[in-house]
Structure 1
């Protein structure tokens, strides 16, 4: 948690404005995707279709690894990972970070802690499929480790996807003013309410 003070300062720079075109909403089909992802520092190919065969999936989009709200959000999901599993659901985080950055983030004991995978959406194609707004990093922006951020940000949005592939809930920080740390607890509550 040593980076949280600096993280709080960076977090304000990553707040994305409300969007005119809303993200995909409950009842719509979740776009299937495959992406290079990392779990506990090891890269693999993540498939939403494959994950849904095991039960509901929480897909949460976040602006960037090693930045304010994203750090606390990842930690919150890591702390609740066992509760999601007990409810029959899995978690995947999605950002436009490179897989090399995500290998570090996924294994970092302060954040993802090897509890769930994070997928690389380099270029933002997955974000676009979910109708999420993206924005460019400001020149010279650095993460909480002091490293330059060289990718776009995706608005912070969490989708709870039922096992049949439909979106059960959409949680948006931009529209609903949900704090990053609260995405995990709100998604868990929704998952627990799904019919198995």
Structure 2
């Protein structure tokens, strides 16, 4: 019961549970290779965990990316994909995608901060950076859950719990 109560207490963000998310495409990297990522294409396959992070290769961002990489099979078992987004350039993220993400999930570059701003993930105290903010986006394109905390320790756990709480649907594959 306590876990369910905690799940129902998301942080304050502009996009609330049930709100439609802005669809975007962005340059991304997976395993050091760059490609064009489309949120709409990812949502067509199932729920998406979209997480924003301040800076590749910083200690906490590396910890968080490693945690997502270690849990990627659990996300896949729940039918979800994971994408990280920061304001870092694509070359920096290509290296980060190998080193910290262990080539297990993509990270997207948003140097113009349009995606970051669209998801209200801009760090207010340091506007050159994204805040540490994670979303579970349902295949319908609506926010199912979000969590904001600069401490990277609980993001993976909270995203997995939110995915487990989603109504079961047959994904189209």
Q: Normalising TM by the smaller chain, what interval?
A: 0.7 to 0.9
Would you say how many aligned residue pairs link Structure 1 and Structure 2? 158
Unaligned segments of structure 2, at least 5 residues: 1-10
- 1:44 equivalent in alignment to 2:55: no
Q: CA RMSD in A?
A: 1.8
- Structure 1 residue 132 displacement after superposition: 2.3
Q: Which runs of 4+ in 1 moved over 2 A?
A: 132-137
Matched, 1:166 2:142: yes
Larger deviation: 182-191 or 35-44?
182-191
The gaps in structure 1 that reach 5 residues or longer are 1-18, 138-150
Q: Secondary structure at the match of 1:45?
A: strand
For residues 61 and 116 of structure 1, the distance between their equivalents in structure 2, rounded to whole angstroms, comes to 14
Within the candidate set 146, 156, 175, 2:132 is matched to 156
Instruction: Quote how far apart the aligned CAs of 1:123 are.
Output: 1.5
Residue of structure 1 aligned with 2:101, choices 112, 124, 130? 112
TM-score by length of 1: 0.76
2:55 equivalent to 1:79: no
Other-structure match for 1:181: 153
1:127 is aligned, of 92, 105, 116, to: 116
- 1:133 deviates by 2.5
Q: Cα distance, 1:86 vs. partner?
A: 0.7
TM-score by length of 2: 0.86
The question of 1:92 aligning with 2:83 is answered yes
Find the counterpart in structure 2 of residue 193 from structure 1. Answer: 165
